[in-house]
Chain A
């Protein structure tokens, strides 16, 4: 038995090894390298001036208005898109849950925004809101150039995000809705609970874990927003996000030291958001898997 056990253990580790190595090689190692680089003055255009400067890069990022504005923008986009997506996602999920005739059609068409390339979605909405090519202004009787002003640009960016990712939310929530037993809802109805009470007291509590998971993944996704902003404004009009700042420092300006400090800070933020959700919602994804 024990011999069989140890052989099994060896085989298990052997089978997992390639996947684990592949996952760590391109995340853990570069992340540690980023941590290391962030302690240097290191600009690829002047590689000879590389110098250890401790936490100076962090100090200059954290004391720059650009970083804090990008952080503010990122939070605006994250909160704006995720909260609206939750509401819309619930509505969409209820529509799919309740309609019998069109359900398949709704689900199929919702998968289109999910599957479409983000760059393409961002382009399509950019052209739609564009004053010379677009149809939105004509539809609303407006004249504005949406992407040339800060808050209207945010509107376009957030609504693109919502369009692209609400389907993911809706499909997760739909899967959660189907886990709510009809009997329970029926019993509540018999006991005199109205639709609102049934939703708030029966459906919502039962769906809490699913909502938690959906929100966690969407929040992290929204916080990392890059593609849509890059395509629609490239950070102009004060719409920079933290990912865009990181990209610009690292790839556009080749300032690996400063850019790596931004990278590490983004990593810390993502970690904090994840921990907050996991604690707040009591999400334990691995235990549920283990059963």
Chain B
């Protein structure tokens, strides 16, 4: 039996060591870009992982750059509005799919699925051409529209997976107890549905925040250029300076909100990610 206990202990050690390796692997590029952003310009080429001296010069430069502030504002606004719209439309559709009997329910889910697989590069040409004609090129709306389209499948799937689990009849019980329909909805149904809506919103926001292809194809100026596009086309404060430090600082700034969201909402994110694939 002693052998068995030994075996268990070794196994635990192996899995424990495995966790450490996974954590280090997952965090290295983040630590690296953070460390780059804190190096002085003179030290950027020193091939060290950690900065010798910590300096905030790149952050100062990035925030003084009107291009970056504009991009940050565009990113927040565009991702925020896309999220609101996609989740709202997704909620209506998911509610109907889960609660109502009507033909084509399956068709809608299948359509959503095929759009999730759709290659965005296939439509940037036509969108570019149409947007220029109707005046949506290089505007917020010009990006918000494709973001809504490409996040709706995610929203509909997550919301319908979660809505299925809600005991909807509770609102009848509340109404029997004398609550008005509105009250029943606000105090009984809404709190039950809120986690699902929230989960969908987080994942939709992450998608819009991350997009690069539409952002570089359908914008050209600070009017609507988002952060990923701005980072890719960073020129630095002078034409002769390698903008490595500025890129690193900008990267850290846009990564922070994501890391904070992940830390706070990790359970929801995991549940949402796996809802479509695993839940029956």
Binding site for B on A (CB under 8 A): 5, 8-13, 15-16, 18-20, 22-27, 30-31, 33-34, 37, 44, 91-92, 94-96, 98-99, 101-103, 105-121, 123-125, 127-128, 132-135, 137-138, 163, 167-168, 171-172, 174-176, 179, 210, 213-214, 217, 220, 223-224, 226-227, 230-231, 242-243, 246-247, 250-251, 256, 259-260, 263-264, 266-267, 270, 274, 285-286, 288-291
**Are B121 and A8 in contact, with the CB atoms below 8 A?**
no
Nearest 7 CB-CB pairings of A with B? A12-B102, A102-B19, A15-B96, A26-B149, A30-B126, A12-B100, A30-B123
**Are A19 and B92 in contact, with the CB atoms below 8 A?**
yes
Query: Residues of A contacting B210 with CB < 8 Å?
Result: 117-118
Contact of B278 among A128, A175, A242, A250 (CB under 8 A): A175
Taken residue by residue from 162 to 203, chain B's Cβ proximity to chain A (1 for < 8 Å, 0 otherwise) reads as 000000000000000000000000000000000000000000
Kindly state the separation between the CA atoms of A267 and B36 in the bound complex, as whole angstroms.
39
Q: A8-B102, A106-B23 are in contact. Are A251 and B277 (CB under 8 A)?
A: no
Query: Residues of A contacting B49 with CB < 8 Å?
Result: 135
Q: A8-B101, A95-B15 are in contact. Are A128 and B93 (CB under 8 A)?
A: no
- Interface window among B53-61, B62-70, B111-119: B111-119
| Least distance between A223 CB and chain B CB atoms (Å) | 8
Kindly state the separation between the CA atoms of A111 and B23 in the bound complex, as whole angstroms.
10
Select from chain B the residue with minimum beta-carbon distance to A267. Answer: B122
Contact of B122 among A5, A44, A167, A264 (CB under 8 A): A264
Q: A99-B19, A127-B244 are in contact. Are A9 and B89 (CB under 8 A)?
A: no
**Are A286 and B262 in contact, with the CB atoms below 8 A?**
no
Taken residue by residue from 94 to 108, chain B's Cβ proximity to chain A (1 for < 8 Å, 0 otherwise) reads as 011100111111101
Kindly state the separation between the CA atoms of A81 and B53 in the bound complex, as whole angstroms.
37
Q: A260-B125, A286-B106 are in contact. Are A102 and B278 (CB under 8 A)?
A: no
Query: Residues of A contacting B145 with CB < 8 Å?
Result: 22, 25-26
**Are A26 and B92 in contact, with the CB atoms below 8 A?**
no
Given A37-B125, A44-B129, A98-B11, 12 more pairs with CB closer than 8 A: A16-B104, A22-B89, A27-B149, A30-B127, A101-B16, A102-B19, A105-B19, A114-B269, A120-B33, A120-B228, A123-B251, A230-B216
Select from chain A the residue with minimum beta-carbon distance to B39. Answer: A133
Contact of B32 among A16, A30, A128, A247 (CB under 8 A): A128
**Are B26 and A30 in contact, with the CB atoms below 8 A?**
no
| Least distance between B139 CB and chain A CB atoms (Å) | 15
Kindly state the separation between the CA atoms of A5 and B100 in the bound complex, as whole angstroms.
9
Q: A112-B259, A291-B280 are in contact. Are A124 and B101 (CB under 8 A)?
A: no
Select from chain A the residue with minimum beta-carbon distance to B227. Answer: A117
**Are A290 and B106 in contact, with the CB atoms below 8 A?**
yes
**Are B231 and A22 in contact, with the CB atoms below 8 A?**
no
For this complex, 11 residue pairs linking A to B, each with C-beta atoms less than 8 Å apart, are A12-B100, A15-B95, A16-B104, A23-B111, A25-B149, A115-B258, A117-B212, A117-B228, A117-B258, A127-B33, A210-B278
Select from chain A the residue with minimum beta-carbon distance to B124. Answer: A250
